[in-house]
Amino acid sequence: MKISEAESKVLEVFWHADRALSAEDVVAAMHNDREWSAGTIRTFLTRLVKKKALGAEPDGRRYLYRALIPREDYVHKQSRDLIDRLFGGRIAPFITQFSERQRLSREEIEELKQLIERLDDDR
């Protein structure tokens, strides 16, 4: 499933909510974040339902929407697609390229070291 950047912003509203949301709830939640009209947001909701990223249930004269895909699954798929497309599926060249262009903080380097140790211990 291909989700646009704009659609992912709408999904973020659902991933932060602890309940099903109406279109009006989503419009209100995105009011300060985007300059999108209510109609544009409703279009994104319709697209996300068609893509099966959101579920919609009738609630009187409106629909209540809920995310059908967990944020963690979406992030993993997007990350995997990026690494596959740009780095042949290898993570080390990704980190190398990134670190050559942007200085990593001491904290980030420590986090990477701890991750490598944890991965090594799990093998």
Total number of domains in the chain: 2
Q: Tell me: do 10 and 46 sit in the same domain.
A: yes
Whether residues 47 and 86 fall in one domain: no
Query: The domain that contains 35 carries what CATH number?
Result: 1.10.10.10
Residues of the domain holding 63:
5-67
pTM: 0.79
Looking at the structure, tell me whether residues 12 and 61 fall in a common domain.
Answer: yes
Q: Are 1 and 68 in contact (CB under 8 A)?
A: no
Please name the amino acid found at residue 4.
S
> Within this chain, do residues 53 and 81 fall inside the same structural domain, yes or no?
no
pLDDT of the chain along its 123 residues, tens only? 789 999 999 999 999 998 999 999 999 999 876 688 999 999 999 999 999 999 999 999 999 999 999 999 999 999 999 999 999 999 999 989 888 888 889 999 999 999 999 988 877
Residues in contact with 69: Cβ distance below 8 Å, sequence separation at least 6, in sequence order:
1, 11, 53
Largest CA distance in the chain: 55
- The answer to whether residues 22 and 59 belong to one domain is yes
Look up residue 71 and give its two tokens.
Answer: 């944020």
In this structure, what CATH number is given to the domain that contains residue 109? 1.10.4040
